[in-house]
Structure formats: structure tokens, C-alpha cells
Chain A
């Protein structure tokens, strides 16, 4: 059926165009021969094509445009006729003899245009006559186009301020009156279309109405272009009359379109000054009108206006724009009980953008908006659809972006309440947005209350929320998420140690509830924050510390112990061990021997009981030895115990080369340059000899298992250690021992079973070069090395 309909329309349009063109042809002939009578006859016939009821708006428009072009030529002809002596008044009379009313009125408008130009009568009288005559056409489609024609031809002939048609008797008011009348009549016709035809074709009719809406809206545009329409006239006449029509027509489509039109077409200053009137119309509109979209657009326009220049801001304050908008929104939401959540949030979003632009200093306004949002959201449960969630995220992100300072967002009491309505996934998304904002602005969060508020906001990242299955999240994403929390922890700082300690305790409370998966990420940054605090306390003058301050190194170490202990629940022994060793060093700096010893004990226990991977053990033992080597707080007994254990661990590593290296590293435990009490040459030598034995054993094992000598690298390393201590002046390291080692290596390298090893060769060569270099230095050093033969 539809297919037929379209085909038929095409046919009718074609027929209409043909008819029109034919008559136009004859009309032109008449024009050329100045035959007025024929011109009128054929033009009327031509215009008859526009009497059709068969065309849809799109097609009718095509026909109309052709007629329009032809009428321009006719108008020129009329003008020339009047120059030739034909009376315009008579012409005006003559065209009304046309048979059918539609052609008659088109011709009348055309002549009317010439009449006004001639100035033989006041423009306002002619315009009034025309706009009223057009009432003769009550068919919506035909009437709309006719009046549109009237609007087009009269456009440049209105008695506007400063126009040639202005006079004493006729003014801008008359121009406005004319346009308003045309507008009103056009709207009535437009609305009437809604009720024409059977109910089942409603959708088709609404589509056609939509195609015609700009014809009606054009009138508002014309009004906005009239120079003489100043704020007072707009306020008193234009807006009042337009709104009257909009409200009274009680048509959803017209109301929605026209309200939007008003907002887009007239200047923003006018809207500000008539805000109350404009907003007052909204509750009077049909309930089915999408008010929220229109309202949002109004607020967006006003926001942009406010952003355009600082000079306009006082206007906003003067008209109390915020209060009015806020009330209007409240009323709308109240009236539309079943407004979907997305609508509510969009409205408040627009209001928030507006407020941030116009009243950035009024946090109470911002908080008010968030509060209103919460009130409306309550009772709806968590937001289900993704559009609503996105809108809420946009709502919450706006203050962050505006203020670039998380402190401000933390001051908004309703901020966390809004977040409550997000589902867990979106809560985490929002938390990430917040953290990113902090990182981007490099803001430091400086007291424990703020930290508490902040961690409440981001709790979706800190711990498992109800119903949240951890397995949902991709591992890489989870790492990224937790790493961002770790970075955040670095942004918490206060120079005052008491406050800093409070911050640390607050963070501790939150992260310890985070569960085993999160602890490895969140614990280390907190530990290092605390260590930094301890260092700051050490730097301070001793006398400053008061009796009952909470922030003493000792107390902080206790807290540190508790936090690291939590890692055992994961478990991550390697990380925990490293942290214990860091704390031990810090305790060493604070001269707290028992505390340092306790940390070492914990580290050793982890090594013994939890770290079983060979590679991990090698690194761990080097960390233990390296740390222990630097400790100066231990008394002899404690140091001996720890050293003994360390050497024991070294000798028990799985692979012989690892054993060897760890053991000779232990030699440094017995000789510390800046501590005279730790200079035990005997034990140094013992270590080195033990390392040698292990190297030998390794060599033999290689011979046995692979049939050839293993690498001599270990021997060369040990030789270098001999040289190290030799240079330090350890008497037990004699020239002879160095010499024999050199010979041993030389023999090994030249032996039958030797495997060629360029790396070892290079190492040995550079070692020998070093010895030579030392000899060449002369002086005390040169003397020492003199005896060594290379």
C-alpha cells in the first residue's frame, strides 16, 4: 500500500509541476507582451496547482518553491506596471477577482508587497489586511505555506526601527503585532494537523508535522531579528504573547519545539531578565512534554553565556538565577513523578555545570544540588542502566575538573551519598577518576580527616564491597588499579609529625581491611611513608620532642611491625623480608638496638621458613648481608649471633657458585671501615678460605660430572677480594697468600682440563692490570704491591 502511495505521490507531483510549468509559460508570454489580463489569468491557473490535497509536505514544498520563483517574476511585472501608470490600489482590487481563494491570496500578497514598497498606504494597514485575509485558508498544509509566503515577502518591509517604512503612525509595535498574528495563526494550523485523519495514521501525521515545524519557528526568528524589539518590548509583548500561544495550544509537539525555539533564538541576556516568566511556563505545559531536555538546554546556554565573559556574571546574581532555576527544576521533578532517573540526573548535571560556571565559590549551592539528587535517587536503589551511571559519573566529575583540588570535593557533604547509588563497578570507576584528578593536580592531602573522607569515597578500590566477586576483574586491570592506590598513598603528607602519624594510622586502618590480594600493593607505600616520617623525626632537634607525643620513632616502629605482619596472610615473604630489613636499617639510624634486632629476627625467620626458591634465596642473602654490614647499633653478642646465622645461610645455598659468592660477601661483615670494633682480620681470612674451599669443590664437581674443569671465574673473584682486604691492610692477608692464589689461577687456566673461557680470561687480565697499576702508583700503595709478581 505504502509503495503505491509513494509512487502515486510522485505521479501527482510530476503532474502538478507540469501544470505549473505550462501555465507559467503562458504567463511569461503575457508578461512579455504586457498583457495584464492574461498575466493574471495564467498566474491564477498556475497557482491552482497549489490547491492540491494529495501531496505530503516534502512534495508540496517542491511545488511551492517553483511557484515562489514564478511569483517573483510576476512581482517585478507588477512593479513595472505601476510605473507605467497602472494604479496599485486598482491592481490590489483586481487580483481579488481570481476565482479560487488560494490563488487569489497568493496574488494579493504579491501585489501587497509592491503596494507596501510604493508607500501609497501605510505598511501596517496593508500587512494587517493581508494577515487577516489569509484566514480564508484553514487547511493546515496549504495555510502554512501561504502564510509562510506572506512572511517571506513581508520580511524586508516591516516598519522596524530605522527602516524606511517607519513613520509617526507606524512603529515597531505594528511590525511585532503583524508577526505575532501570523505566528499565532500558523501555530493553530500546525496544531490542527495533529487531529486530522484517522487515529492509525497518527505516526505519519506527527512525522509530517515535524517536517513543517520550521515554518512556524521562522516567525520567532523574524521577531528576534527586529531591531526595535528591545528587552522591554520582548518582556512585555513578545514573550508574553508567544508563551500564551504555546501554553494555550495544549499540543505536546508544538510546546516542546517552540519552547526550545524561544531559548535558541532569543539572546541569553533576555532569558536571564525574563527567567521567572520563562520558567513559569514550564509547569503549565502538557505533562508529556520532555521538559527536562529543554530545561537542560536552557541551563547549558546560560552556562556558556556565563563562561563567555566575566562581565555578565553580576547579571546572574542580580536576577537570582540559581534560585529560580533550582526551584523550577524542583517543581518539574515533583510534577513528573515517573521521570526516569536519567532525566533527573541530567537536569541536576546541567544545573551543576551552570552553578560551577556562575557561582564557583558557592560550595553550598553545589552541595545543595548533590543533596537534591540524593533525595530524588533515594528509594530507587542502585542505578541499573549504563546511561544513568555515566551521567552520575559526569555529575561527580564536574566539581573535580572545575576545582582541580580534591579538598573541595571532600568538603561536599552530599558527594559520598551520591556515590552510594552507584553499583560497585561504577563506584570503582569513579574512584579511579578521583585518584587521577589528585595525581594530575599533584595535590597533597594533608590531614587525617580528609584522608578518611577520601578513602571512604574510593573504598571500592580499597576493599571488596558486598556482592563484588574479585574474579570479575582482569588481572592486569587489577594491578593497575592497585598501583594507582599505591601512588595515591604517596600523595598524603603533612609536615607536622603528629598529623602525619594520624594520616598513616588512618591509611593503615583502611588497607588492612583490603584482603590478601591488595596488601602486597598497598602495604609497601605505607611503610615507606612511615620510614620517611621517622627520618624527619631523626633530623629534628632532640630537645624538641615532647613527653607525650605520639609520634616517636619507637611507636612508629611498633605500628610498622603490625603492618608488615599483615603480609603474612597473603603470603609474600620476599616483600615482607625486604620491608623488615628496611625497618631494621631505620631502627639502626634511630639507635634502637632491640627494635633493630627484632626486625632482623623477623627477616631471618622468613628466610628460614618461607623463602625456598633458590634464586630468591640468593637475592635475599645478599640483602641480609648488605644490610647487616651497615648496622652499627648492635652490641657484640647480637652482632655475632646475626653474623653467624648469615654465614650459615650462605654456606647452605643450593648451588656451589652461589654458596661461594655469598660466603666471600660475608667476609665484609668482619671488616667495616668506619667501625674500629669491627675489624677482625682472622675471621675475614676464614671466610675467604672457606670460599676457596667451596670453589675447589665446585671445580672438582665439574671435573667429575662434565669431564672438564669448571670456570676459574670464582677463583678470580676471590682473588679480587684478597686484593681488596690486602689494600685495606688486613695483616692476615699476606703477599704470599695473594701470590699463591695468582699461581693457582694461572695453572688452572693453562691446565689440560681447562675449558676456554674468554670472560674469565678478560677478568684475570684486568685484575693483573689493576695490580700493575697499583704498583705504578708508587708511594705507600706502590710499595705494598711491589712484592706481588704478576
Chain B
């Protein structure tokens, strides 16, 4: 079992002062194997903080990130799954699932993790799964009203991935989970 933390759009310090305390106390170093970050941290301090939770950190560039050298997209393989990361402001219309599906085909990945809308979604279609972990700080968004802080934890085990979403609603952390299964283990495709 491999734990992958997916989060993004923190927008510290432009739109939020810090991660919610309840999230911070959950994110303990040493428990997570990989971190996937969709971008818009925005400052180095946040990068350093994420590194203390887990040194294997994969970030893509958001349009407000101070560090301009993060890549636009990134792909990586974890166990039987190929994952792709992209902030999402490059995919127009923003938040449009069909356009995101195109990106997924282009990157040829089973799981596409993307952000920008600050709205948690987990959507399965024929080629795989598109996950948006939302905004970990509940930052203001022009796209989504009423943003609740949220992040995603993926438990990858063989051909199965369980996606846990953690949302802070009215001061309480609520958890939900969704199951996804790959049908074949072939390296090139997923049906």
C-alpha cells in the first residue's frame, strides 16, 4: 500500500495565511510516500514545509507560483498506475471534464490530478480518473463560490486505488472515499 497525498491551490500568502490547523496536525512526516501538488503554493516556505512531510514531492506550476521553473505538466508511475499532474489553468474551458480528458489522453495516464477550480472532484471515465483535490486552504476562487478546504489521499494497492477526500466543513474534518480499479495491469493502457 502506497500513500500519495494530492493537494494544491494553497495560495499562501496571497489568499490564505496558512493551512488549517486541523489539516496540519493530520499531515505528519513519515506517513506518506509521495506528494503530488497541482501548484499555486505560492511561496518557497510552503514548498519547504511540504518537503518535511515527504521528500518525494512532485509539483507543477500554477500561475501565481513564485517559482517559475516548476514544469507545466508532470507524469510519474506509482505501482501499477501512471499519474499525471497539471495545474489546469492551461486547459480551457477551466474545469471542463471533456477538455481535461483530452489532457489525460495526451499524457497517457490512468490518473490525472489537476487543480485551479478549488473544487474537489473525482470523476471516472473510460480512460481513467480525473481528480481535483480542491484548495487545501479553502482559498478564494473566481470559479467556485464557498470553497471548503480540502485535500486528497490516495491509497494505491496493486490494481486498486482508494481515493480519500478530506474536507473541512464548519470546523470539522469530513472524510469520504471512492474506489477505482484498473482492469488490466498492462504498462501502456488502462481500460
Residues on B with beta carbons closer than 8 Å to the beta carbon of A535: 140, 145
Scan A575-589; emit 1 where CB is below 8 A from any B CB, else 0: 000100010011001
Residues of A within 8 A of B142 (CB): 531, 582, 585-586, 589, 627
Q: In whole angstroms, how far apart are the Cα atoms of A665 and B103 in the complex?
A: 13
Q: Is B15 an interface residue (CB 8 A)?
A: yes
Output the nearest chain A residue to B143 by Cβ-Cβ distance.
A630
**Contact indicator B108/A483 (Cβ below 8 Å):** no
Tell me how far the C-beta of A543 lies from the nearest C-beta in chain B, rounded to whole angstroms: 20
B45 at the interface (CB under 8 A from A): yes
Which among B16, B17, B106, B189 is the interface contact of A717 at CB below 8 angstroms? B106
Tell me if A480 and B45 are in contact (CB < 8 A): yes
In B26-58, the 8 Å CB interface with A consists of 43-45
Stretch at the interface among A40-48, A81-89, A484-492: A484-492
Asked if residues B63 and A528 are in contact (CB atoms below 8 Å), the reply is: no
Question: Of residues 7 to 30 in B, which have CB atoms within 8 Å of A's CB atoms?
Answer: 11-18, 21
With beta carbons under 8 angstroms apart, the residue of A490, A629, A763 that contacts B16 is A490
| A532:B17 contact, CB within 8 angstroms | no
Contacts of B182 in A (CB 8 A): none
Contact between chains at A439 and B93 (CB < 8 Å): no
Q: In residues 58-108 of chain B, which contact A (Cβ within 8 Å)?
A: 63-64, 68, 89-90, 92-94, 98-99, 101-102, 105-106, 108
Q: A532-B140, A619-B63 are in contact. Are A487 and B92 (CB under 8 A)?
A: no
B188 at the interface (CB under 8 A from A): yes
Q: Please, what's the 1-or-0 string for A456-471, where 1 marks a CB less than 8 Å from any CB in chain B?
A: 0000000000000000
B89 near A622 (CB under 8 angstroms)? yes
Shortest Cβ gap from B77 to chain A (Å): 14
Contact B127 A770 (CB under 8 A): yes
The yes or no answer to B172 lying at the interface (CB within 8 A) is no
Give the Cβ gap from B115 to chain A, nearest Cβ, in Å.
13
**Min CB gap B86→A, angstroms:** 12
Asked if B170 is an interface residue, CB under 8 A from chain A, the answer is no
Contacts of B45 in A (CB 8 A): 480, 483
Flag if A727 contacts B140 (CB, 8 Å).
no
CB of B99 within 8 A of CB of A629, answer no
Q: CA separation between A528 and B94, bound complex, in Å?
A: 20
**Bound state CA distance, A645 and B16, in angstroms?**
34
Contact code string A709-721 (vs B, CB < 8 Å = 1, else 0): 0000100110011
In contact, B14 and A766 (Cβ under 8 angstroms): no
A403 at the interface (CB under 8 A from B): no
B13 touches A626 (CB 8 A): no
- Give chain A interface residues in 598-651, CB to chain B under 8 Å: 615, 619, 622-623, 625-627, 629-630
Assess whether A524 is interfacial by the CB under 8 Å rule: yes
Partner of B93, one of A490, A668, A713, A762: A668
- Determine how close the nearest CB of chain B comes to the CB of A472; give it in whole angstroms: 21
Do residues B102 and A626 form an inter-chain contact, with CB atoms below 8 A? Answer: no
Whose C-beta in chain B lies nearest to the C-beta of A588?
A: B142
Do A486 and B13 touch (CB < 8 A)?
yes
Which residue from B17, B106, B127 sits with its C-beta under 8 Å from A490?
A: B17
Q: How many whole Å from B169's CB to the nearest CB in chain A?
A: 17
Cα-based distance from A483 to B106 in the complex (angstroms)? 37
Known: A626-B92, A770-B127. A486 touches B106 (CB 8 A): no
A759 part of interface (Cβ distance < 8 Å): yes
Question: Contact at A717–B140, with CB atoms within 8 Å?
Answer: no
Asked if B126 CB lies within 8 Å of chain A CBs, one says: yes
B116: nearest chain-A partner, CB-CB: A626
Chain A residues whose C-beta falls within 8 Å of the C-beta of B13 in the assembled complex: 483-484, 486-487, 489-490, 525
Distance of A767 Cα from B98 Cα, bound (Å):
12
- Which residue in B16, B98, B127 is a CB contact (below 8 Å) of A727? B98
A765–B64 alpha-carbon span in the complex (Å): 34
- For chain A, give the interface size range: 35 or more
Q: Point out the residues of chain B lying under 8 angstroms from A490, CB to CB.
A: 13, 15-17
- Chain A residues near B68: list those with CB within 8 A: 615
User: What distance in Å separates the Cβ of A573 from its nearest Cβ neighbour in chain B?
Assistant: 14
Q: Report yes or no: A578 in contact with B188, Cβ–Cβ below 8 A.
A: no
Interface residues in B, total, Cβ within 8 A: 36
Chain A residues with Cβ below 8 Å from B98 are: 724, 727
A532 cross-chain contacts in B, Cβ below 8 A: 140
Closest residue on chain A to residue B12 by CB atoms: A487
Alpha-carbon distance A717/B105, docked complex (angstroms): 10
> A317 near B: Cβ within 8 Å?
no
Among B63, B106, B143, B145, point to the contact of A578 (Cβ < 8 A): B63
State A442–B11 Cα separation when bound (angstroms): 18
Select one of A479, A528, A585, A615 contacting B15, CB under 8 A: A528
* A398 CB, nearest partner CB in chain B, Å: 25
Distance A578 CA – B126 CA, assembled complex (angstroms): 35
The residue that B102 contacts in the complex, of A489, A589, A720, with Cβ under 8 A, is A720
In the bound complex, residues from chain B placing their C-beta under 8 Å from that of A762 are 108, 188
Within 8 A of B (CB), among A512-563: 524-525, 528, 531-532, 535, 539
Measured CB to CB, the closest approach of chain A to B111, in angstroms, equals 14
Beta-carbon contact of B106 and A763 below 8 Å:
yes
Q: Choose from A488, A524, A665, A727 the contact partner of B14 (Cβ within 8 Å).
A: A524
Which residues of chain B are within 8 angstroms of A665 by Cβ–Cβ distance?
Answer: 92
Within 8 Å CB of A483, what residues of B?
13, 43, 45
- CA–CA, A721 to B14, complex, Å? 35
Cα distance A380–B62 in the bound complex, in angstroms: 52
Taking a contact as CB atoms under 8 Å apart, the answer to whether A528 and B14 are in contact is: yes
Contacts of A720 in B (CB 8 A): 102, 105-106
Q: Which of A749-777 contact B (CB under 8 A)?
A: 759, 762-763, 765-767, 769-770, 773
Chain A residues within an 8 Å CB radius of B143: 630
Q: Mark B162-191, 1 if CB is under 8 A from A, else 0.
A: 000000000000000000000000001101
- What does the 1/0 interface line of A660-671 toward B look like (CB < 8 Å)? 000001001000
Q: A625-B92, A668-B93 are in contact. Are A766 and B15 (CB under 8 A)?
A: no
Cβ contacts under 8 Å, A486 to chain B: 13-14
List chain A residues, Cβ under 8 A from B14: 486, 524-525, 528
Known: A483-B13, A483-B43, A525-B14. 9 other contacts (CB 8 A): A490-B15, A528-B15, A531-B140, A589-B142, A615-B68, A717-B102, A721-B102, A727-B98, A766-B189
* 10 A-B contacts (beta carbon < 8 Å): A439-B18, A480-B45, A484-B13, A525-B15, A539-B145, A626-B92, A717-B102, A762-B188, A763-B106, A769-B127
- Residues of A whose CB lies within 8 Å of any CB of B are 439, 442, 479-480, 483-484, 486-491, 524-525, 528, 531-532, 535, 539, 578, 582, 585-586, 589, 615, 619, 622-623, 625-627, 629-630, 665, 668, 672, 713, 716-717, 720-721, 724, 727, 759, 762-763, 765-767, 769-770, 773
Residues of B within 8 A of A (CB): 11-18, 21, 43-45, 63-64, 68, 89-90, 92-94, 98-99, 101-102, 105-106, 108, 126-127, 140, 142-143, 145, 188-189, 191
Lowest 4 A-B CB distances belong to which pairs?
Answer: A486-B13, A585-B142, A490-B17, A766-B105
